[in-house]
Amino acid sequence: MHHSHTISVLVENEFGVLARVSGLFSGRGFNIDSLTVAPTNEESLSRMTIVTRGDENVLEQITKQLNKLVDVIKVIDFSDDSAIEREMALIKVTAEDESRAEVLRIVDIFRAKIIDVTPKSYTIEATGAPLKIDAILELLRPLGLKELVRTGAVAIGRGARGWKG
């Protein structure tokens, strides 16, 4: 019932738009699991990717309420399997003595990268579907997670059709 849901929102690239969208979610008690925003290939537009949760009625309200905002130009609700999602994580883990090799093995399996090294730690860059990030974290956590930064998911529709912007 309460499934996680990814929504893409094309908005005017204007002052205060992020506040309008995030205010809508907090004011109406909608969940935000993650939210990313950046400009698109059309200068006047930004694209947000919002991962949210809720039952069918809540999701319907979220889409309708987003559409009602004057600065929102288009809302795409990626239901089922219609989108490809990617997320990046920067992970700092303890890596001393025998655990150094273990970290490297995990990094290798997940095709992640080491981007910073010290005698006591590795910093890893991992990219993939959010579930893949969850999986690598699960393996690294027992080794000592010092710091974690996730971008939140971005999503794009499958197939040849593209959205302008």
Partner 1 sequence: MKMNGARILLESLKREGVDLVFGYPGGTVINLYDELMNVREIRHILPRHEQGGTHAADGYARATGKVGVAIATSGPGATNTVTGIATAYMDSIPMVVICGQVPTPLIGNDAFQEVDMIGITRPITKHSFLIRNPKDIPTIVRKAFYIARSGRPGPVLIDFPKDVQIAQAEFKWPETIDIRGYKPNLEGHPRQVEKAITMMMAARRPVMYVGGGVILANAAEELTQLARRLQFPVTTTLMGLGSFPENDPLALKMLGMHGAYAANMAMTNSDLILAVGARFDDRVTGKIATFAPHAKIIHIDVDPTSIRKNVRVDLPIVGDTRDVLIKMLAELDKQADGIKQLHKNLTAWHEDVTGWKTKHPIGYKQSTTTIKPQYVIQKLRELSNDDAIMATDVGQHQMWAAQFFEFHQPRTLLTSGGLGTMGFGLPAAMGAQAAFPKRQVLCVCGDGGVQMNIQELATMVQNRLPVKIVILNNNFLGMVRQWQELFFDKRYSQTCMELPIDFVKLAEAYGAKGLRTEKPGEVEQVIKEALAYNGPVVMEFKIAREEKVLPMVPAGASLNEMVLNA
**Chain residues in the site for partner 1 (CB under 8 A):** 11-12, 15-16, 19-20, 23, 27, 57, 60-61, 64-65, 67-73
Smallest distance from the beta carbon of 64 to partner 1, in angstroms?
A: 4
Q: Decide if 120 contacts 97 (C-beta within 8 A).
A: no
Q: Which is nearer to partner 1, 152 or 165 (CB)?
A: 165
Nearest to 30 by CA among 47, 51, 15: 51
Q: Which is nearer to partner 1, 71 or 125 (CB)?
A: 71
Report the phi/psi class of residue 61: left, alpha or beta, with left for phi > 0 and alpha for psi in -120 to 50. Answer: alpha
Smallest distance from the beta carbon of 41 to partner 1, in angstroms?
A: 17
Q: Which is nearer to partner 1, 19 or 131 (CB)?
A: 19
Q: Which is nearer to partner 1, 60 or 147 (CB)?
A: 60
Spatial CB neighbours of 104, under 8 Å, sequence gap ≥ 6: 114, 122
Spatial CB neighbours of 98, under 8 Å, sequence gap ≥ 6: none
CA angle 156/162/165 to nearest 5° reads 85
Smallest distance from the beta carbon of 65 to partner 1, in angstroms?
A: 5
Q: Which is nearer to partner 1, 26 or 129 (CB)?
A: 26
